[in-house]
Chains A and B, each alone.
Chain A
Amino acid sequence: MLVLALDTSTPAVTAGVVTVSADGVTVLAERVTIDARAHGELLTPHLLAATESAGVTLRELDALVCGVGPGPFTGLRAGMATAAALGHSLGIPVHPVCSLDAIAAEVTAGEPFLVVTDARRREVYWAAYDAGGTRTRGPEVSPPADVDDPARVAAGQQAPAVGRTVAEPAYPTPAGLARAAAGRLLSGATPDLLTPLYLRRPDAVEPGAPKRVTTP
């Protein structure tokens, strides 16, 4: 099946066209730019360029896969709003994937490992995986020093921050996104709800009493 994979949960603006079958995932074309402030601008041009380069049209797609974070909220939503509207207008399912799982799907550590990405405010988003790439803990958000899992290897852009041996990849890839969703794509299962993994509440404080403007 022909699948468009999107992710904007990290500084990478990622779009790729892949085929998914029982034999595995094949990338036909991808467009990736590392620019944390350009998700809103670049994602649609990227996905159009990727489909054109793959020699297919959006109408030929069978499904979408979209990374749902965790990741910085504004950029993350650019990808998710794009995926939701594409799914609506093309009438095809959108399969959500934890973006850390998409990174994990491309890790070949041969032992348990972590995936660690940037959560800003001196914190990281992270999750732990077994040697087979199945998530065993997380996703969580915490300062790098509080990442207390015994794994010795870490992938993801912030892997160096947690003092483990660094493994590739740094960002979710179209192949990883598709692999993380392959089981659900091929089974024809109804997609899970397309909901962001925020992990943090919005910053908002309820106001106290109005400030005095006169001196008593």
Chain B
Amino acid sequence: MSRIVLGIESSCDETGVGLVRLADDGTVELLADEVASSVEQHARFGGVVPEVASRAHLEAMVPTAERAFAKAGLTLSDVDAIAVTAGPGLAGALLVGVAAAKAYAAALDVPLYGVNHLAGHIAVDTLQHGPLPKPCLALLVSGGHSQLLRVDDVASGIVELGSTVDDAAGEAYDKVARLLGLPYPGGPPIDKAAADGNPEAIAFPRGMTGPRDAKFDFSFSGLKTAVARWVEGARRRGEEIPVADVAASFQEAVADVLTAKAVRAATESGIGTLVISGGVAANSRLSALAAQRCAEAGIELRVPRPRLCTDNGAMIAALGAHVVAAGRKPSGLDISANPALPVDTIVV
């Protein structure tokens, strides 16, 4: 008998509610994926304001859930299990989703699974491309995360190979966009500006690529500073800033490092599949360069469609379904949100 899993996500600025159907053969089908975003409320601050996000989550939680059930043509009594993001993320934001999920689980008398947001970004790919090969490699890139992960089983075994030592990749996009006078969030406008630019116009540094640097860690802070220095220099000389060239050269540096490290990790560990997920996965240069380098190395590349890559409830529902299928023990109704939940803790 198939089971319906409700997924609730509130780790950052998107309130997400997803519904999936877990079939007896373990396949997971997407039924609804509703998101309410507070991104516009954060734009003038140039980044996510935690209190603003938390307020928006509380307002949006039940209406978003109602939309998801309407979309799926289901009622609450159809739900067999609930998954909620327990971390990592913003403390006050996570708490809203966790509190709501506990109440839904208590009222519906179904098991609750507090799950890891990062694992959700990987599990979501199964909604589009089917079961993940075991093992596979995952590159998560967004405003909040930049991680290279070895995924032995998305429901039970994820190991971090590397992560950013400073800014997340998406954060670097936001900061560079601000330098160039482009709007927040910075990813889409930089991608758009870069389309008309020369990626080789300026040789920006590739962070953490020296022989003594950690092989699979990232650093984007130096790159961001290098862009700032270059832009200030040009301004001081009274030159007009070649926004397209700066954007393209910056984007090239980010994509170069991310894909080089990911492909190297796959090659060295003999893993044949790379999944790229998170908000920055939608970046056109990152996906193009990843496709090219994966093809050269004989690696299968899987990138979920953009709507699934950004934070949403479907990814949490999908992970919940895999966790249910794996027979993992449910969480208690006394769990707390953990803003720093490590990636190897997939269920709290």
Instruction: Pick from A77, A88, A207: contact of B76, CB below 8 A.
Output: A88
Interface residues on A, range: 35 or more
CA distance A48 to B225 in the complex (A): 53
Tell me if A's interface is mostly helix, strand, loop or mixed: helix
In the complex, A15 Cα to B236 Cα: how many Å? 63
Contact B336 A40 (CB under 8 A): yes
When distances are taken between beta carbons in the complex, the residues of chain B under 8 Å from A85 are 61-62, 65, 99-101, 103-104, 107
Is B196 an interface residue, CB under 8 A from the partner? Answer: no
B64-85 interface bits toward A, Cβ cutoff 8 Å, 1 = contact, 0 = none? 0110000000001000000000
Q: Which residue of B91, B95, B100, B108 has the most chain A CB atoms within 10 A of its CB atom?
A: B100
- For residue B77, which residue of chain A has the nearest CB? A89
**CB-CB nearest in chain B for A91:** B76
- Tell me if B96 and A77 are in contact (CB < 8 A): yes
Residues of B within 8 A of A86 (CB): 103, 106-107
Cα A74 to Cα B10 in complex, Å, equals: 14
B52 at the interface (CB under 8 A from A): yes
Chain A residue contacts of B131, Cβ below 8 A: none
| Residue in chain A with minimal CB distance to B105 | A44
Docked complex Cα distance between A187 and B46 (Å): 47
**Interface flag for B30 (CB, 8 Å):** no
On whether A74 and B99 interact (CB within 8 A), knowing A89-B107, A204-B49, A214-B233, the answer reads no
Residues of chain A within 8 A (CB-CB) of B107 are 58-59, 85-86, 89-90
Is the beta-carbon distance between B65 and A88 smaller than 8 angstroms? yes
A82 within 8 A of B: yes
Contacts of A195 in B (CB 8 A): 59
**Which residue on B lies nearest to A205, using beta carbons?**
B45
B187 interface residue per 8 A CB criterion: no
Question: C-beta contact mask, B232-243 vs A, less than 8 Å → 1, else 0?
Answer: 110010000000
A32 interface residue per 8 A CB criterion: no
B225 touches A213 (CB 8 A): yes
Docked CA distance A214–B232 (Å): 7
Q: Residues on A close to B: CB < 8 A?
A: 40-45, 47-48, 58-59, 73-74, 77-90, 195-196, 198, 202-207, 210, 212-214, 216
Residues of B at under 8 Å CB distance from A? 44-46, 49, 51-52, 54-55, 57-59, 61-62, 65-66, 76, 91-92, 95-104, 106-108, 175, 178-179, 225, 228-229, 232-233, 236, 333-337
Known pairs A78-B96, A83-B103 / 9 extra A-B pairs, C-beta < 8 Å: A40-B336, A73-B55, A81-B103, A84-B62, A85-B104, A202-B49, A206-B44, A210-B175, A213-B229
